[in-house]
A and B are shown apart, each in its own frame.
Chain A
């Protein structure tokens, strides 16, 4: 296809601009918000309660080279946990407290370890049921109440119903914007790189939500306006590229995203705990003022993580996404030694076979893989499609 070179140049300039995340999110990155930070790990942790307590919720990404941490855990143990422990040990995050969940065996032992060897930072474990249903929601709501009390004790300040409600509104807004952004980037793969997409996702979990939502709102507006100028029509390349879905756990591999960004692929859907499983589904504020119950309801009914009991439901969710988004290939990436994730693959593989969708299976260390090898595998997979 032929394009005149002027628009081509314009497109490149626009592309560079849109993918310059640090420029758009300057306020977020250089935030002057002085509220103390409370760390969290798992998407079943309601940030709402942390915000309501007057703290900034920050997800712990680890990203530290595992050295000291290695002597606390066995070799064959979740690398995300190890690298998060490294960062907790280093005190780099300057956290007021840390909220764990009983998401998996690894996390339970992580909590024990933090409790034992990190005495200066208070930690709390939120018990999240594995089942859905009314009883589970009631039970979970009661646990949320305990968590609320833990947060209140951190600064000796009671959390009011009003504060919870405001926090819910704020985080709802964040989720809504993230979802919108996700839809846009699926539609405009040419303009928004995979790296940028995940960078924004990460920022959404480690920043003061008020500032972040402001920045994101402006960012989305900018992309929308650029899009109405029909710049994207200039590059129809992506129309024939296969739509890929990535399914995984805590996958935040910058190198991988960078690599995928340079390849000819369209990320048409994802099921990761750093994107869709985080922002899908809102807390439905109606007449009911039992906010903890509403929160419990949202978290237990959001797109579920592999840890939940009903794997069948999870497979159904994935199947729906595959059909809805015209997925032609699935990349399954699991951090090594993540049992719940690894156990989901035998059935998922069967399902994908039935649907005639090829899958690439990857087990990786955390932020630590040899690029050459991975590249060959991903490239070969794309060639196969």
Chain B
């Protein structure tokens, strides 16, 4: 038998189907959430079942998480991303003390004790320090977000981005480009400004190692590197960090029946 975890995030919807006996991922899907989160969840689940060659009868329990966690009809329970990311990360790195999840609109720092969350912090209402911030900036510079990491690594210099607000930062970047400043340096500066934001959040909860980073932004190795530099530590990254919440949800679903 299997359990299923669905993480309906603000940007993307992730599904993980997890084997109950072997704890192996039978299949996973990452899709865009779009404007209708319910449909996105249904479609992603279908795709995932197909990928694994399973039918929904073989799914014993389903837990949903993420922003769209509440209105999913076939879910047995909904649990917040805080518990799910923590659970998913723990399954990969058993003695973790801190999980940093950076998604599209939220960044979270979760503190763990004996594998359980004991404290957490989420970003304030503005989008600075989240994936969407990076996306908006990437669009302003007409660069694909996947280019950020390679650019970060090959560029030595950076330009300080002073604005932390998405709207102002965008106009600042436009004016920097107008001044003929090298885009690569701007990107490097942007990544540091995100890393600074996260660093202060980690500071608020208190840094405890080992640390793992999850969520789509963990795929941006530039952010990871800058963060490692700021915190002076090494950060663990799952093979597919974006599905960690869904994975955790699937694990939590195992406790249901």
A12-20, A196-204, A317-325, A367-375 - interface stretch = A367-375
Chain A residues, CB < 8 A from B201:
71
| Contact B162–A365 (Cβ < 8 Å) | yes
Q: Is the Cβ of A372 less than 8 Å from the Cβ of B204? A: no
Contact of A369 among B162, B200, B204 (CB under 8 A): B162
- Known contacts A368-B162, A369-B162, A370-B168; A71/B175 CB under 8 A: no
Number of A-B contacts (CB under 8 A): 33
Q: Mark B175-207, 1 if CB is under 8 A from A, else 0.
A: 100010000000000000000100111111000
B203-A70 in contact (CB<8A): yes
B163 (CB) vs chain A CBs: closest residue? A370
Q: Across the two chains, which residue of chain B brings its CB closest to A370?
A: B172
B239 at the interface (CB under 8 A from A): no
Residue-wise, chain B 2-38 has the 8 Å CB interface mask toward A (1 for contact) of 0000000000000000000000000000000000000
How far apart are B247's CB and chain A's nearest CB, in angstroms? 29
Contact with B along A64-77 (1 / 0, CB 8 A): 00011011000100
- Give A368 to B201 CA distance when docked, in angstroms: 20
Closest to B121 in A: A71
Q: How far is the CA of A368 from the CA of B162 in the complex (A)?
A: 6
- Mostly, the A contact residues are loop
Bound Cα distance from A340 to B126, whole angstroms: 25
> Which B residues between 135 and 154 are near A, CB-CB below 8 angstroms?
none
User: Could you say which of A71, A365, A368, A370 contacts B204, with CB atoms under 8 Å apart?
Assistant: A71
Q: A369-B162, A370-B163 are in contact. Are A71 and B171 (CB under 8 A)?
A: no
Q: How far is the CA of A67 from the CA of B203 in the complex (A)?
A: 9
A74 to B174, CA, bound (A): 29
The B40-99 residues at the A interface (CB cut-off 8 A) are none
Which residues of chain A are within 8 angstroms of B168 by Cβ–Cβ distance?
370, 373
* A118 CA / B123 CA spacing, docked (Å): 26
User: What's the least CB distance linking A83 to chain B, in Å?
Assistant: 13
- A67, A368, A370, A373: the one contacting B200 at CB < 8 Å is A67
B114 at the interface (CB under 8 A from A): no
Q: Give A335 Cβ to nearest chain B Cβ, in Å.
A: 14
- Are B175 and A70 interface neighbours, CB within 8 A? no
Complex Cα–Cα for A365 and B169 (A): 14
Nearest residue in A to B124 (C-beta to C-beta)? A75
A70-B203, A75-B124 given as contacts; is B175 within 8 A of A370 (CB)?
yes
**Chain A proximity of B131: nearest CB distance (Å):** 19
> Is there an interface contact between B199 and A67, defined as CB atoms closer than 8 Å?
yes
A373 and B171 contacting across the interface, CB-CB below 8 Å: yes
B interface, by DSSP: helix, strand, loop or mixed?
A: helix
- Given that A372-B175, A373-B171 are known contacts, is A71 also in contact with B162, CB under 8 Å in the complex? no
Assembled-state Cα–Cα distance A368/B179 (Å): 18
User: Which listed residue (B163, B172, B179, B200) contacts A71, Cβ 8 A?
Assistant: B200
CB distance from A86 to the nearest CB of B (A): 11
CB distance from A223 to the nearest CB of B (A): 35
Instruction: Give min CB distance, A371 to chain B, whole Å.
Output: 9
Assess A68 versus B203: contact at CB under 8 Å? Given A369-B162, A370-B162: yes
Given A67-B196, A75-B124, A365-B162: A372 and B172 interface contact (C-beta under 8 Å) = yes
Give the complex CA separation of A368 and B204 in angstroms: 22
Would you call A70 and B200 a contact (CB within 8 A)?
A: yes
- Bound-complex Cα distance A328 to B144 (A): 50
- Chain A residues 48-88 with CB under 8 Å of chain B are 67-68, 70-71, 75
Cβ contacts under 8 Å, A70 to chain B: 196, 199-200, 203-204
Q: Name the B residues within 8 Å of A68 (CB-CB).
A: 200, 203
CA distance A370 to B173 in the complex (A): 10
Q: How far is the CA of A68 from the CA of B203 in the complex (A)?
A: 7
Q: CB < 8 Å: which of A67, A365, A368, A373 contacts B175?
A: A373
Chain A stretch 351-385: residues in CB contact (< 8 A) with chain B: 365, 368-370, 372-373
B175 partner residues in chain A, CB cutoff 8 A: 370, 372-373
Residues from chain B with a CB closer than 8 A to the CB of A365 are: 162
The answer for the CA separation of A346 and B166 in the assembled complex, in Å, is 28
Complex Cα–Cα for A365 and B162 (A): 9
- Give the CA-CA distance A75 to B197 in the complex, in Å: 10
Cα-based distance from A372 to B230 in the complex (angstroms): 28
C-alpha gap A150/B179 in the complex (Å): 53
Q: How far, in angstroms, from A368 to B168 measured CA to CA in the complex? A: 13
B172:A373 contact, CB within 8 angstroms: yes
B172 CB → nearest A CB, Å: 5
Closest to A365 in B: B162
**Nearest-neighbor residue (CB-CB) of B125 within chain A:** A75
Kindly provide the distance from the CB of A115 to the nearest chain B CB, expressed in whole angstroms: 19
Residues of chain B within 8 A (CB-CB) of A71 are: 200-204
A67 to B172, CA, bound (A): 21
Residue among B171, B200, B203 having the largest count of chain A Cβ atoms under 10 Å: B200
Best-surrounded residue of A68, A365, A370 (most CB of chain B within 10 A): A370
The CA of A67 and the CA of B201, in the complex, are separated in Å by 10
- Can you report 13 A-B residue pairs in the complex whose CB atoms are below 8 A from each other? A67-B196, A67-B199, A68-B200, A70-B204, A71-B200, A71-B201, A71-B204, A75-B124, A370-B162, A370-B175, A372-B172, A372-B175, A373-B175
Residues of A within 8 A of B (CB): 67-68, 70-71, 75, 365, 368-370, 372-373
Known: A68-B203, A368-B162. 11 other contacts (CB 8 A): A67-B199, A67-B230, A68-B200, A70-B199, A71-B203, A370-B162, A370-B163, A370-B168, A370-B172, A370-B175, A372-B172
Please list the 4 inter-chain residue pairs (A to B) with the smallest Cβ-Cβ separation, ordered nearest first. A71-B203, A70-B200, A71-B204, A372-B175
